[in-house]
Amino acid sequence: MGSDVPSILRRLFGAALLAVAIVPSAAVGQRLDGFNVIATPDHRFGSASAALSLAQARRLGASAVAIVPFLWQPDPASPDIVRGADMPDDELRAAIRQAHTAGFAVVVKPQVWVPERWAGLVEPNSEAAWQGWFARYGRAIAALARIAAEERADVFAIGTELEKTTRRAEWPDLIAAVRPLFPGTLTYFAHNADEAEAVAFWDKLDAIGVTLYPALGEDYDRIGRLLKMEAEAARLDALAAHTGKSILVGEVGLRSADGAAVKPWESAEERASPAAPLLQAEVLGDWLGVLDRPAVRGVMIWRWFTDPRAGGSADTDFTVQGKPAEGVLSCVWAKRCRRPQ
């Protein structure tokens, strides 16, 4: 970035200091700032405990939640993709209704689960397998879109992080099939700017969706981290300008664990590490400062549980519940700020 580095740092540090009020710029239309909300077994959507958890998220100033029904396939090459058992139709309806009752806009954000693999690796190994995968996936997505429409969800995603599938020519037909089923905002959530720049069907959708998990470097290198964030966001700005579409960040997050900035996508199951809740708070504050730009319509944090007692200072997973990151989000979204003690 050469001689531009000082000006970038002045802008970033002016907007993204931890626990200092960050005032988002005016945005055209409804902003969608909030959480990906995941149901836990003892606190299903529709329960009193889930209602309490949603109310806690609302008090932080969140305006939207993403509900995440999963599809499942046994391995990346398999065409045998099916609707997961985690969220049957009646619970998806209950989730949307409960979120609306709590005052949230709702994003229905289907994701593919592959055991011990990432959805971005999904790649059937023959033309027949590809056709079978898209036929099954399309039926599952259409069924979810109908429910999202009937329950008046605000946004529906046709997919999330399916990086190797988006090179295929089937996507425009799939979008055309979903469009009459869902009258709200349609999007797809690409993985980082790399995939977002490669997607060829943004013109068929209403907004550019993206999940942001680029490597951010060592935990202590905040200047380097801010520069990496700014570079990623600048690419999204350019894509928004090229397509005329706004950006919806469907996921951003990291564990509250030492070393989490190196691989923000890494789960607690992949690596044991001491808790580092202040690192999580600082990184999320930095992201929200960097993403405070006209092209960005909203930012959804990964993640929040329906268990109102989830998280806590000793927890090393992604949830922000009961951690300093809650204070950062309250400062940004609700303008209730406290300086760290």
For 164-219, write each residue's pLDDT tens digit.
999 999 999 999 999 999 999 999 999 999 999 999 999 999 999 999 999 999 99
Rounded mean pLDDT of 148-155? 98
Model confidence at 338, pLDDT cuts 50, 70, 90, reads confident
Q: How far apart are CA 146 and CA 182, in angstroms?
A: 7
Does residue 309 have a cis peptide bond before it, meaning omega lies within 30 degrees of 0?
no
Rounded mean pLDDT of 7-11? 43
- Per residue in 232-264, pLDDT (tens digit) is 999 999 999 999 999 999 999 999 999 999 999
**Residue 339: pLDDT over 70:** no
Tally Cβ neighbours within 10 Å of residue 65: 27
CA within 13 Å, CB half, 140: 26
Rounded mean pLDDT of 51-66? 98
**Residue 23: pLDDT over 50:** no
pLDDT at 289: 97
Percent of the chain with pLDDT strictly greater than 70? 91
**Is there a contact between 67 and 98 (Cβ–Cβ < 8 Å)?**
no
pLDDT at 15: 38
Q: Lowest-confidence range among 16-20, 130-134, 153-157, 326-330? A: 16-20
**Is there a contact between 81 and 112 (Cβ–Cβ < 8 Å)?**
yes
pLDDT at 30: 81
User: What average pLDDT is seen over the chain?
Assistant: 92
**Residue 124: pLDDT over 70:** yes
**Residue 16: pLDDT over 90:** no
pTM of the model: 0.91
Domains of the chain with bracketed CATH:
26-333 (3.20.20.80)
Tally Cβ neighbours within 10 Å of residue 335: 11
**Residue 20: pLDDT over 50:** no
pLDDT at 29: 58
pLDDT at 158: 98
Q: For tokens 């989490």, name the residue.
A: 260
Residue 326 sits at φ, ψ, to 5 deg, of -55, -40
